[in-house]
Structures are given as C-alpha cells and as structure tokens.
Amino acid sequence: MRSATQCLAVCAFSTLLWFAPVARAQAIRLHVDLKDAPRNIYHAHMQIPVHAGETDLVFPKWIPGNHRPSGPIGGLTGIRMEAAGRPLAWQRDAVDMYEFHVTVPAGVDVLDVSLDAITTQDSAGGGGPAASDNLLDLNWNAVVLYPKGARSDDVMFAPSVTLPAGWKFGTALPGARAAGEDVEFSPVALTTLVDSPLIAGLHYRRIELSKPGESPQHVMNVVADAEADLAMTPQDVAAYQKLVAETGALFGARHYRQYHFLLTLSDQVGGHGLEHHESNDSVESERALLEPDQHMLYGSLLTHEYTHSWNGKYRRPAGLATPNYQEPMIGDLLWVYEGLTEYLGNVLAARSGLWSEEQYREALAGTAAMLDHRAGRKWRPLEDTARSVQTLRTMGSQWQNWRRGLDYYPEGELIWLEVDTILRQQTHGERSMNDFCRRFHGGESGPKVVLYTFDDVVRTLNEVAPYDWSTLLRERVGTPSTHAPLGGIEHGGWKLVYNDKPNQFTQAVEKLAKFADFAYSLGFAAGEDGKLDDVIAGSPAYEAGLGPAMKVIAVNGRKWSPEILHAAVKAAQSANQPIELLVENAQFFKTYSIAYYEGEKNPHLERVAGQPDILGEIVRPLSH
C-alpha cells in the first residue's frame, strides 16, 4: 500500500495515457446474459487466460465516480470456477473480501469463471435496483473478476451481452455487432469497460444531437418504463444540442471519440447520475421530460454529468487516479472535481436554456441558504467532507446539518462562483472562469487522463489573473467558518434574502417528495406524517428541544398538517405567542414551545441597485 503523500508525489507528475499502445495479454472473454434483468440478476461467464499454479482474482472495489469502496460485493453470487470442464475449489481471502484464490492445474491455460450479479442494489451507487420489468443498467464492474495487481489499462476484455427479447441498447462501447438479441463489442481495456456502462430497454429512443457527418458524434439514448415517457420535446432536443455547442465554446476541446447520454426514465430503479469519459449514466423520474416541476429539478443533472467528461475524467485529481480498482482513492480535491462541476453544470443549464435565468438564481439561492444554515461548518472544514466521502455518502439526513453532508458539491459551487467574480473584477471584465476552463480543460482533443494537484489549480488561476488564490482557496476549504462563502453572489450584483414567497425549487421538492420545509424559520423539515427530518442546531426548534425523528402530532392543539403549521407560523408573527407542538418521541408524548415570531422565510436572490449584473453575464451563452 502507498500512503497519501507517496501517491501524490508519484502520480502528480505522470500522465496516464488512456489509450497508450502497451503490450497486452490475451483478452478475457466476457459474456453477460441479461435476459433475467426483470428479476434483477445478471449471469456472467468469463474465460480468463491463466498459467498453472496459484492464481488470485479480484472484484472491483473502489469505483470511479463513487470515490469510495462501493463495488457491490454483497450481490456477487453463484461463483463457479472450472478448468477444462472440471470444477475447481476457490477460496475468498480471509482479510480482503474482494479477493479470491484458486489453484490452476498443470496444462490449463484458460480458467472458466461463472458468476451472478444480484442487482437489487444499483451498482452505479444510487441505491435501489439496477433493472425493472422494462429496462436495465449494466455496470460492468458488477460482473467481472480480474487478475490481482494488474493495471486496469493493461487487462483486455472482449465483452458481449444477450439482451431480453425486443430490447434495444445504448452504450459508448465501440464496435457493436448485433445478431438478434446477442451483441458483441470490440475488445477494450478494463478501464474502458468499467467506464462504459450499457443501458437497454423495451422502450428506447435514440436522438442525434450532432448533425449528420459531424465529428465527434453526440447521441442521446433514452430508455423508460413506458413508451409515452420518451417524448422529449423539440425544445429540449434543441437545448441539449445547444449544450453540446456551449461545452465546445467553453472548453475548446473534446476528450472523447463520441459521446453518449444514457438516460433512464423510471421510478422503479435506483436514482443516480454517474459520469464517464465518453458517456454519462443518469436516472431521472419516469415523467421528468413531461412534468414542469420535475423538468426543472432535473434540469442540471445531464449538464453536470456531461461536464465531468472534462472536469473529473480528462482532468483528474491525482488522488483519484488509481492504477486499478483495489487501490484506495483520496478525495481531498473533490471540491474541484465535484464542486467546479456543480458550478459549471448549473451555469451550462442556464446557458443552454434548460433553466431560465430566474431558475438558475432560485437554485443558487436555495444552495446558499442551506449552506449558510449548516451548523456543522463551525467544526468541520469543507475539505474534511471531501476526504470523508466514503463515510458521508451513505449517512441519512438526521443531524446532517451538524455532521455536514457531501457539502463539497454545493459549497464548491459557491467557491467557484466567487473565484469567477474575482477573476472578472481583477481583469475589469476581460477574463473569467471561461478562460480558466479553456486552459485547464482544453488542450489537445482526444481521450486521455491528465492529473492535477492543488498547486496546478492555483498556477492556472494565476495564469488567467494574478491573485493570492492559494490563500483564498485554502481558507475556503481548509478552515471552519460561521457563514457560507456568499462573496460570489455579492460580487455578482445580488444578495441572498428571505421572504414569504416560496422558492421555486423548494416548492417543487415539497410537492414531489411530500414534505414541508420550515428550515429557515423554525429550523426543520417534516414529512407529511409530521416526522422531523433534520433539526438545524441553533434554530428556534433546536433551542426548544426538538430533534430529528420526533413526530409532530398537533400544532397549537390542532391535528398536524403542513398547512396548519404554515398558518401557525404566520399567526405567531402578529399574535406574538409561541407555537405549541405536541410531539411523539418513540412512544412518549411531550409539548414543546417554539418562541419564533418572524414569519415564513424562503430564500431568493435580490438585485443590489447600482451594481452590475455579473451573474447575468455569467449565464449568457457563449455559442451562437
């Protein structure tokens, strides 16, 4: 094992050449029978070239994009190993659950391995199943074993699948040759295989985002639980075409041979968005293309995942670029990997027309308010949330404001907005993050990985505009603070305000997820049944003694409902009387009195008179 400092020293000065022509061993043949997908079990068979003697095989553990040991080992079943038709005894390693030992007899050069992946837990890291009655998502890391110690760039796989009858598929894997339900692909390195998921479904639509003959080609592949869900509007198709043009104008280069959006529309499978070099594998709810609230809430999912092709896949933090899937990843720079992607993804949603300017600002206001009420920022620096991704990703929402969540995403957005506005101020509007992106993510087109460190980020910022970026960024990510970094909004000519008008995004989530949000007034969100989700430390509800998982039964003596509590918050403003909540806490009932008289508080951005609208300039399209 290598320590963090060793890895940074070794990796930072090397460039992984993704498609480097290295001498490779004979390909492992891999066939995945997907006909049982509706039952959430995939059957795989591998023919692995081997030498006689002790052989160690491993199952991918650290999954790119998940940044944590999320390889779905619990779903790995039905393992059978055979040589020349005779079963071989295998053993799992006593310490590393992802490693298997087998002795290959003399004279045998191919090991047959069969296994089944139970996919009731999505292997893309989104929870929920990977397949439904009508569609599936195949992440190849769930169906492969490979030789221990090998670099994933050096292990070749010749993959093929059998699909359920009548299903069509989308993937960035090259060289597809279909015969009925059987599809064979060209041999690829394990790195490319794991980076190229496949979606398939009974209801499938392919939308060309590039003009005929244009290179590289961009394709939108959509699968859904019902045919009617696939009806992407001509306006949306035009917006995604605009998105492609906007990324070209922003980055100035493309690091893929072709790009596939793999979009699943379903309420039955795990919700996720997972980035890849030449594709993204994203799930939205079944009616996301058709219903306005859902359309708005998902408006920046594909723009975010697509941005990762440049920020995350082409340029990658040194600690996240590991030689294979067994080496631990170091997440310290996720505030760049995810935070800058969050910033650019939201800006691109507005530039491409998937969001209006007002929707962009409403989303930003919600993010800023949430982070400005994160009590845990007083003890936990942002960088620690990135380093802790493997523990924070799976924690629930209870006490999240005190523990902090994966805050490097939203707070990264605020930090990069601040950086963008400082670049514009320092250069009197001549330069911006657009220039940073062209330098950092542009360069020569073509698929490869170029590593970076904190110092590389600072150096590139200084090339765009000299400033003490190192001090600013170290302070933003490395030290606890009482307030969120709102400098970008303020330099942008806007300020964060609270009033009784609902925030568009919060209101849409309240309707869809059926909960009531009182975060910035009383200090909590509650489910339809009155159960408190999180209680913000230091808020009026917290001071009254309330905590997560307690259940509100009655408000001022009347049975709980979100409407009753909203009315009580308004009434308290003029009556100047505390709100009395009857609360159930695991079989025990008690009344809590909340002394709060300031009415409803929903976050919005408001223009600062006399200041230029830099935010408006930032979301202006670059392409024509």
In three-state secondary structure terms, 9 is helix
Per-residue CA distances from 370 to 389, 423, 525, 579 (Å):
19, 26, 12, 24
| Nearest to Zn ion of 236, 338 (CB atom) | 338
23 bridge partner residues: none
| Nearest to Zn ion of 342, 533 (CB atom) | 342
Sequence-ordered list of residues with C-beta below 8 angstroms from that of 206, at least 6 positions apart, any chain: 168, 170, 219, 220, 221, 222
Element (H, E) at 55: strand 53-58
Return the residues of window 44-83 that contact Zn ion according to CB under 5 A. none
- Two structure tokens written together for 553: 């039964």
| Nearest to Zn ion of 345, 493 (CB atom) | 345
Return the residues of window 318-347 that contact Zn ion according to CB under 5 A. 338, 341
Min dist. Cβ of residue 355 to Zn ion (A): 17
| Nearest to Zn ion of 348, 472 (CB atom) | 348
Site size for Zn ion (CB under 5 A)? 2
Per-residue CA distances from 87 to 44, 81, 200, 367, 549 (Å):
17, 6, 33, 56, 52
588 bridge partner residues: 585
Min dist. Cβ of residue 65 to Zn ion (A): 7
CB neighbour burial string for 69-95, b if at least 16 within 10 angstroms, e if fewer? bbbbeebbeeeebebeeeebebeeeee
Min dist. Cβ of residue 413 to Zn ion (A): 11
DSSP secondary structure of 385-398: HHHTHHHHTT--ST
| Nearest to Zn ion of 343, 494 (CB atom) | 343
Min dist. Cβ of residue 335 to Zn ion (A): 12
Return the residues of window 125-154 that contact Zn ion according to CB under 5 A. none
Pairwise CA distance, residues 66 & 390, whole Å? 9
Per-residue CA distances from 73 to 32, 62, 98 (Å):
17, 11, 7
| Nearest to Zn ion of 205, 276 (CB atom) | 276
Pairwise CA distance, residues 539 & 536, whole Å? 6
Min dist. Cβ of residue 624 to Zn ion (A): 29
CB neighbour burial string for 274-305, b if at least 16 within 10 angstroms, e if fewer? bbbbbbbbbbbbbbbbeeebbbbbbbbbbbbb
In three-state secondary structure terms, 230 is helix
Whether residue 502 is preceded by a cis peptide bond, meaning omega within 30 degrees of 0, is no
| Nearest to Zn ion of 341, 400 (CB atom) | 341
| Nearest to Zn ion of 112, 338 (CB atom) | 338
Place of tokens 């997908």: 37
Min dist. Cβ of residue 156 to Zn ion (A): 29
Min dist. Cβ of residue 7 to Zn ion (A): 22
Neighbours of 429 (CB within 10 A): 12
| Nearest to Zn ion of 171, 341 (CB atom) | 341
| Nearest to Zn ion of 386, 552 (CB atom) | 386
Neighbours of 525 (CB within 10 A): 22
Min dist. Cβ of residue 308 to Zn ion (A): 6
Min dist. Cβ of residue 577 to Zn ion (A): 46
Q: Are 549 and 532 in contact (CB under 8 A)?
A: yes
Min dist. Cβ of residue 459 to Zn ion (A): 24
| Nearest to Zn ion of 338, 413 (CB atom) | 338
* x-or-dash string of contact with Zn ion, 341-380, rule CB under 5 A: x---------------------------------------
Min dist. Cβ of residue 338 to Zn ion (A): 5
Q: What is the contact surface with Zn ion in residues (CB under 5 A)? A: 338, 341
